[in-house]
Amino acid sequence: MGMFDELRCEFPLPDPIVQDEIFQTKDLERLLDRYTITSDGRLILHQVRYEEVPEKERPYYGTPEWKRGGLIQFLGSLRPVPVGAVEIPFHGDIVFYTFLENRPEKEWFEYRARFTDGRLQWIRREEERRKN
């Protein structure tokens, strides 16, 4: 499994059904960062800083699990705070994917986006690319 980053795609995808989905990719930093491919073909990193969540606001606070102590008290102890967006001058391919299991056909969607000098050239569905 491993680490990954999340990616949203505002640029039109070949399959409109997944246009608003959040995808995963292992082709960037793999630090659980959030990226967007904008409608005009730029790659944006949404930078965050983390702040501590007060104990009373954590998910298990006040439960029997919390009272036993241990690692459970650290769950939900940090929350991301947006600090800005940075355009990434990416050059190369980014493969990103998602799985729709709430549909009758339970379908895997995988795309390849090609960037040249920071600008999107195209996005293709991986299965189609393999067929050619």
pLDDT tens column, 3-19:
999 999 999 999 999 99
Cα within 13 Å of Cα(78), Cβ side: 5
The answer to whether residues 43 and 19 touch, using CB atoms and an 8 Å cutoff, is: no
Q: Which two tokens stand for residue 124?
A: 């293709």
Find where tokens 């991986």 sit. Answer: 126
State the average pLDDT over residues 48-52: 95
pTM of the shown model: 0.81
When pLDDT is cut at 50, 70 and 90, the band that residue 123 belongs to is: very high
The answer to whether residues 109 and 100 touch, using CB atoms and an 8 Å cutoff, is: yes
When pLDDT is cut at 50, 70 and 90, the band that residue 106 belongs to is: confident
* SS3 at position 72: helix
Domain ranges of the chain: 5-48+80-131
